[in-house]
Chains A and B, each alone.
Chain A
Amino acid sequence: MKLTMASSPHSHSHKSLSRLMQTVILACIPGLIAQLYLFGTGVLIQLILALVTASLSEAIIMRIRNRPVWSTLSDGSAWLTAVLLALSIPPLAPWWVIVIGSFFAIVIVKQLYGGLGFNLFNPAMAAYVLLLISFPVQMTTWMPVSDLLADRISLTQQLSVIFNGFTSAGFSVDQLRVGVDGVTMATPLDTIKTDIAHGLTVSESMQAAIFNSWLGQGWGWVNLGFLIGGLYLIKAKVINWHIPVGVLASIAVCSAIGYIAAPGTEPGMIFHLFSGATMLGAFFIATDPVSAATTNRGRLIYGALIGLLVYLIRTFGGYPDAMAFAVLLLNMAVPLIDYYTQPRTYGHGVNK
């Protein structure tokens, strides 16, 4: 009888890459729903654009590299990158923004470094930074939540804005952003930053329409959505708790210290934790396994430093939010962190 030979172990957990990626994409759904509800279906349009571009880019590169197209595509890593990028950019940004971003993330950041597992930088965040620096206007035209708009924008109007730049009635994105009171509305983080720069206190700034008492309207919900998704990821053992805890604890501690030091110019812990990309970054971006630290102690350090950078750039830097910059900077520090945080191996450093 011919027997098949194999190397142990002969058993496997049936975990797979594609299931891992699918779980993360699924965990994005609460946050996505919040965005959809608050900012309209533009998010969905961006998502579809990103998915199509990412898939095409990956397929073309695989063909050029003479690698199997479908088995690579089906691991879902490109789709996850597309989803994360789509969730990060303004819903009404022009179509070519997300197309350039997705292409850059897949082709330059991931595949040119050798494909999945070899990229130094988080593809979604590297693409985000590219877009932010190249197209600052388009990348910062976040719409206020739809409740605050003078007119609700329909799906066809959103499509028109994304692909033509104007609605059928001839309004541009900037015009659409004008609120009921006739004032152009920025994101809460942006507003606070600008106001503080103009000498206002936080409480004065919070009087603006985009805030409800002490959180930005809607943004709290988006962050809550990503928090729920992230907790699910930890529960499903897709990610370890170390990085999110590191990021959030660090932001919390920094903002608490800042609030104690200067209450007038510091919006406080809750505001920082539930504004901007905090939750998305802590649970979905910083935890990208390829570009993050790999030891548990290292992950705590990695997360904490990201949180610190986010707080520093938000408070003292030139940008209202900083998740992408912080993640990319720490990506570079990963080999060092990993090297110095190796766990103690069994039987080492014990007394005889």
Chain B
Amino acid sequence: MEKLIAQIKQGKVWPFPGGIHPPGQKTISNTQAITRLPLPGKLVVPLKQHIGANGQLIVDKGQQVLKGQALTKPIANWSVPVHAPTSGIINDICQMPSAHPSALPELSVIIEPDGQDQWCELAPVTTPSQLSHEQLIDIIHDRGIAGMGGAGFPTYIKADSRKAIEYFIVNAVECEPYITADDVLMREHAADIIAGIEIMQQLLTPTLTIVGIEDNKPEAIAAMQAAAEHNDKIIIQTVPTIYPSGGEKQLIKLLTNKEVPSGGIPADIGVLVQNVGTLFAVHQAVYEGKPLIERVITVTGNTIHKPGNVWALLGTEIKHLLDCQGFSPVPQQRVVMGGPMMGFTLPTVRIGVVKTTNCILAPDHDELAEPGPEKACIRCSACADACPASLLPQQLQWFAKSKEYDKLKEHNLFDCIECGACAYVCPSEIPLVQYYRVAKVEIKEQQAEQVKAERAKERFELRKQRLEREQEARQNRHKRKPAAEKSADEKQKIADALARVKNKPAKGDEKSAVAAAIARAKAKKQNQDTELEPDNSDVALERAARKEQARKYKEQKAASNTAADPDDKKSAVAAAIARAKAKKAAASESDNESTSAPADDKKAAVAAAIARAKAKKAAQAVSVENDNSESEVATASPADNKKAAVAAAIARAKAKKAAPAVSVENDDAESEITTASPADDKKAAVAAAIARAKAKKAAKAEQAASVENDNSESEVTTASPADNKKAAVAAAIARAKAKKLQQEGSDQ
């Protein structure tokens, strides 16, 4: 680093690649002293004249303001206030075309000067060295200082750099043709500028301050050297005249041989650059207490009678500038804000001067010819030779035309500083910079859209995962419990049962369900192989629905309780009872207990089962009629799928009963029962199992009867909606009774 500083002190510069030498045209405007314009009749002060956020408006329409009075106060980060450039009345606060290539409207304060030009109270500081860092930053912030070289970066942010600054670079290069605002400012106010530099030195404590001035400004160099003589940390460095040496990155390379990393900022390499005009404004803000309300502007071009530099209040309309300097427009006049290389044409002269306006150029067609028609690119690469960023403008142009955005990024389009050197040298007059601008915007849009799409995709994926998780959780809940309770053999049975449930038509046409069940049973008989592993999700859903239904029933039941309401189930039960009674009459045996307890759903089912069992017993010999009636009982019971299934099972079981090999079918029926029990309450299941075991034992004597018993059990269990213990117990009791009866029957 010492070596580098020694080289810098010897006056060494490190040329950047490329660059062009457009005619300077500086002598048009830099021969006279800076003049002060007469007060304009109207000032248009946009609230935003820098990079960052608007300040908050603190004045109202009709309010009288004094010169230097703040019109806005900073509210957000990067927000910088604007001040009244002169005393007067606020005529309006409205949207006005902005000093921007787009001329998009910007909220502006319109001030009618009162002619007094009366300052508000100022707070000058005579010895800034006694101020703290924060106090100085606040002064720079409150006085509304933003970079005056072009971009308008808030100065208080730069001056408060978090990163250590080794080299503080003062950009006094002014490489754009025509512009001489900084040149004459340095000639006239060198001492003030150096004082401004010293304030920045106090804030940033750089190792070295380098002022870069092009060698076409000998007077400015001399003035600055004289003013900086006392400060050996300031070096006035003369740099060769080449465009765009005033570009921030190019100047850093030129003066320090360092390169700002792509996508980074100068502070990343310990460098900070300020424009010379900004430093003068810093001096004014601190030593005089004056906010930034005026600046030097070069008014030049062949259509201007008195080209030169003027002090213009911010907000002065361009028209006023042109009129004061004498302006005779040509047909198809262009008025450029900024220089001929990077400036932009204005759509109207009714636009106010802002903090970044350094030049108003009104050329005729001789000095700056209108661009001719674009011709074919002959790949001569004059553009690449001129490019200060070592890009390949010619290739970029092809890719921009064919919208190959990936290739554009690969060829570092975003390192283009849009200096215009390539377009300047292009023999085919291709508006290269324009192509790059459009491509940059398109790529940015595309990237924004990609980000959006990615977010949507992410959301979708997350949702999918969540749904999958939920489904899995449901399935696990469904699987785990039975698995914990049941033996492998039972599990298999459950699987079989589930498969059947699944295969069952959703809208449970009972008869078809029964038929299907019969068919399945037959198929079973022929082929005792187990069925396919079922898809549990459907079952789970079905089950949830059923559960809900069951819950509702229970509620309903609770509400109506013993009252004889026209419930389906009850009527079914009644029917069952009626049938049972009819049977009973035939068998000359009755059981009043069971039929007299219709209050509970469960009990009803139990009753029905008992009734059936009795009926069976009475019939002894298997009768088709009986079967039918029974299945009807089941069918008539509320239109629940489960019940239908149970009914089907019963039907099957009965069908089997005729045959001697009943056991398999029996098992099936049982499994179905278990499966269908909604909450898999262990106890209920255990109870049911015990009951079944008993029933089986009892049935040993008479197979046919036992089958019937099982079936009745199944119905009992199935019908129990909440699967509480009581239900199971009740079922067990019912079964026990049924067995007793059977035994009696068998005894007979």
Interface positions of A (Cβ within 8 A of B): 1, 3-17, 19-20, 71, 75, 77, 115-118, 240, 289-290, 292, 294-296, 338, 342-348, 350, 352
Q: Are the CB atoms of A10 and B343 closer together than 8 Å?
A: yes
Cα(A321)–Cα(B340), bound, Å: 51
Q: Are the CB atoms of A12 and B369 closer together than 8 Å?
A: yes
Q: Are the CB atoms of A345 and B380 closer together than 8 Å?
A: no
Cα(A10)–Cα(B339), bound, Å: 9
| Residue B251 lies at the interface, judged by CB distance under 8 Å to chain A | no
Q: Are the CB atoms of A3 and B22 closer together than 8 Å?
A: no
Chain A residues closer than 8 Å to B336, beta-carbon distance: 10
Q: Are the CB atoms of A294 and B427 closer together than 8 Å?
A: no
Q: Are the CB atoms of B345 and A12 closer together than 8 Å?
A: no
- Please tell me which stretch of B386-394, B668-676, B716-724 contacts chain A, meaning at least 4 of its Cβ atoms lie within 8 angstroms of it: B386-394
Q: Give me the 9 closest cross-chain CB pairs, A-B, nearest first.
A: A9-B420, A117-B376, A347-B262, A289-B380, A11-B340, A346-B389, A15-B427, A343-B390, A345-B412
Q: 25 pairs across A/B with beta carbons < 8 Å?
A: A3-B348, A7-B431, A8-B343, A8-B433, A9-B342, A10-B345, A11-B22, A12-B424, A15-B382, A16-B427, A20-B427, A75-B375, A116-B376, A117-B378, A117-B428, A289-B379, A289-B380, A294-B395, A343-B391, A344-B390, A345-B389, A346-B259, A346-B415, A350-B258, A350-B261
Cα(A77)–Cα(B379), bound, Å: 13
Q: Are the CB atoms of B342 and A8 closer together than 8 Å?
A: yes
| Residue B240 lies at the interface, judged by CB distance under 8 Å to chain A | no
* Given A3-B349, A8-B433, also A294-B385 (CB < 8 A): no
Most buried by A among B340, B341, B379: B379
Q: Are the CB atoms of B371 and A345 closer together than 8 Å?
A: no
Q: Are the CB atoms of A352 and B268 closer together than 8 Å?
A: yes
Query: Min CB distance, B196 to chain A, in Å?
Result: 29
* Given A75-B375, A289-B380, also A6-B334 (CB < 8 A): yes
Interface size on B, residues (CB 8 A): 74
Q: Are the CB atoms of B424 and A13 closer together than 8 Å?
A: yes
* B241-269 with Cβ < 8 A to chain A: 249, 253, 258-264, 268-269
| Residue B370 lies at the interface, judged by CB distance under 8 Å to chain A | yes
Chain B residues closer than 8 Å to A346, beta-carbon distance: 16, 249, 253, 259-260, 262, 388-390, 415
* B339-371 with Cβ < 8 A to chain A: 340-349, 361, 363, 368-371
Q: Are the CB atoms of B375 and A348 closer together than 8 Å?
A: no
Q: Are the CB atoms of B415 and A1 closer together than 8 Å?
A: no
Chain A residues closer than 8 Å to B429, beta-carbon distance: 12, 16
Interface of A is mostly: loop
Q: Are the CB atoms of B348 and A289 closer together than 8 Å?
A: no
Chain A residues closer than 8 Å to B412, beta-carbon distance: 345, 348
Cβ proximity bits B261-283 to A, threshold 8 Å, 1 near / 0 not: 11110001100000000000000
Query: Min CB distance, A103 to chain B, in Å?
Result: 21
Cα(A294)–Cα(B420), bound, Å: 19
User: In the complex, which of the residues A4, A15, A342, A345 contacts B334, with contact meaning CB atoms closer than 8 Å?
Assistant: A4
Using CB atoms, name the residue of chain A closest to B421: A9
Q: Are the CB atoms of B433 and A116 closer together than 8 Å?
A: no
Chain B residues closer than 8 Å to A296, beta-carbon distance: 384-385
* Given A13-B425, A15-B382, A346-B415, also A352-B370 (CB < 8 A): no
Cα(A17)–Cα(B426), bound, Å: 9
Most buried by A among B20, B347, B376, B431: B376
Chain B residues closer than 8 Å to A19, beta-carbon distance: 427
Cα(A8)–Cα(B363), bound, Å: 14
Query: Min CB distance, B428 to chain A, in Å?
Result: 6
Q: Are the CB atoms of B347 and A3 closer together than 8 Å?
A: yes
Chain A residues closer than 8 Å to B392, beta-carbon distance: 294-295, 342-343
